[in-house]
Amino acid sequence: LLMLATLRLSEKFILLLILSAFITLCFGAFFFLPDNSKHKRFDFGLEDVLIPHIESEKEARPPAAAHSSPPCMMKHAWDSYRQYGWGHNELKPIAKKGHSTNIFGNSQMGATIVDALDTLYIMGLHDEFKDGQEWIEQNLDFSVNAEVSVFEVNIRFIGGLLAAYYLSGQEVFKVKAVQLAEKLLPAFNTPTGIPWAMVNLKSGVGRNWGWASAGSSILAEFGTLHMEFVHLTYQTGNPAYYQKVMHIRKLLAKMDRPNGLYPNYLNPRTGRWGQHHTSVGGLGDSFYEYLLKAWLMSDKTDSEARKTYDDAIEAIERHLIRKSNGGLTFIGEWKNGHLERKMGHLTCFAGGMFALGADGSPDDKAGHYLQLGAEIAHTCHESYDRTVLKLGPEAFKFDSGLEAVAVRQNEKYYILRPEVIETYWYMWRFTHDPKYRQWGWEAVQAIDKYCRVSGGFSGVKDVYSSNPTYDDVQQSFFLAETLKYLYLLFSSDELLPLENWVFNTEAHPLPVLVFLTWGRILTS
């Protein structure tokens, strides 16, 4: 009898084990991070910065759907690229072949692979991550005769490789990041030290875009190098990277700024501003983002970066931020001495930036900036909600009785951009207001309904048309940013906590650095 009772208890225990394993198998990809105990740890002065997590709140997951979840969408985007565009920079999901743009020159450097690595890792897609790692080990070569964008290659490749290294501990990613960084350094060989927009990876010859205010460098491009270059110095002990970006900051600090605003163009030969056009959207956006994030990444010790950010935001609020007749807060653009009442999709990232920078803002303005972030999030949601497809246009206006609506045909497109969802995520992290998850779920449904095709995901040309046409491009940032932010929006706060991680402008997470451990490098 005793043996029989013991057997029955064992059977129950085995059944419980099987049930637990089944539950873990079904839901693990959505709820759990990979166990990083198997990977190399780094001394960041932090405790376990990556920990397995489970979301306990009932509304954590989006409502059930056949394939409308960020991990399933990521799998479809990746598998399609793997099948039809492997090794190419991006994918044409309708033509089902590789695609590239002039930001990568004539190279085939697998931009989608590098950009997607950390998203794959965070979502627990181990086989896909391993495939990407193997391609990088065997094929990623920077000694090609290709003219590439310094900015784009920095945020996508160096940022992506560094994030993959920090998350997985695989040395190959750090090695490749440093190899590429060495190829970008010749871009800084200008009379002022302001880098060229483009550099040839083989010859080191640099130049600027011809359309950029008589060959000027662009604020958002040369101002969006700090995070990655500081981490390069941290990893290599080579102060050159840090010195390059600090030189840019010091030069800007000495310059006069019209109305306290930073124009979008700076001539790298003369050190003078180009045309006085100021924007928190395209051409300017991530410069302001990186001022704040330089402070956060320094464990809040880089007070110079914080003050520069605070001064810039004060000028932006005074001169660029307005409220429409309908009560929508928007950020306009300063052009030719007047404010253009237009806001771009790219500008929508600023809602999250204001929320992220609220803590530590001067004069007890934390509540004010968190509210400002909420107002920008609301405006950007309206730009989505006022379209037929419930996807936001590239730019929208606030005049002639129209609010948060695109007017020109060439501004009605949606190319899988992440900025609105990025702001939803930050606002969720700081407020836990359930509307941000609801808005994110609306975006999931719209993207899956109107952008999913058999060969991946495509942008659409007119968000106001019930029968939209496709642009036939699956952007690498869709995998790096849009799907990552959606996944994080429905995950626990313990997944990549903001006190330990800072996201670069391509959504690649880099750890906060405790400066005291390497201060001598930075002051050398």
Q: Would you please indicate which residues are annotated as catalytic (active-site) residues? A: 152, 285, 394, 419
SS3 184: helix
Per-position b or e across 512-523, b if 16+ CB within 10 A of its CB: bbebeeeeeebe
C-alpha count within 13 angstroms, C-beta hemisphere, residue 383: 32
3-class secondary structure per residue, 368-411: HHHHHHHHHHHHHHHHHHCCCCCCCCCEEEEECCEEEECCCHHH
Q: Residue 149's closest CA among 221, 66, 41, 43?
A: 221
Q: How is residue 190 written in tokens?
A: 């200008």
Distance separating the N- and C-terminal Cα atoms of the chain = 78
| Residue 505 among known ligand-binding residues | yes
Cα-flanking dihedrals φ and ψ of residue 515, to 5°? -65, -25
For every residue of 270-288, DSSP letters joined together read T--B-S-EE-SSTTTHHHH
Taking the C-alpha atoms of residue 310 and residue 10, their distance in angstroms, rounded to an integer, is 64
Q: Residue 287's closest CA among 254, 321, 316?
A: 316
SS3 241: helix
Whether 182 and 240 have beta carbons less than 8 Å apart is answered as: no
User: CA of 227: how far to CAs of 139, 253, 511, in Å?
Assistant: 26, 18, 10
Which amino acid would we find at residue 521? I
Sheet holding 206-207, edge to edge: 147-149, 198-200, 206-207
Q: How is residue 194 written in tokens?
A: 């302001």
Taking the C-alpha atoms of residue 437 and residue 486, their distance in angstroms, rounded to an integer, is 9
Q: How is residue 229 written in tokens?
A: 């270059």
What number of other Cβ atoms are within 10 A of residue 207's Cβ? 13
Q: What's the chain's Rg over C-alpha atoms?
A: 23
For every residue of 447-485, DSSP letters joined together read HHHHTEETTEE--BS-TT-SSPPB---B-HHIIIIIHHH
User: CA of 16: how far to CAs of 2, 7, 207, 367, in Å?
Assistant: 21, 14, 65, 48
For every residue of 210-235, DSSP letters joined together read TTSTTT-EEHHHHTS-HHHHHHHHHH
Residues 6+ positions from 86 with CB-CB distance below 8 Å: 98, 110, 135
- Write the DSSP symbol of residue 258: G
Annotated binding-site residue numbers for Ca(2+): 505
Annotated binding-site residue numbers: 505
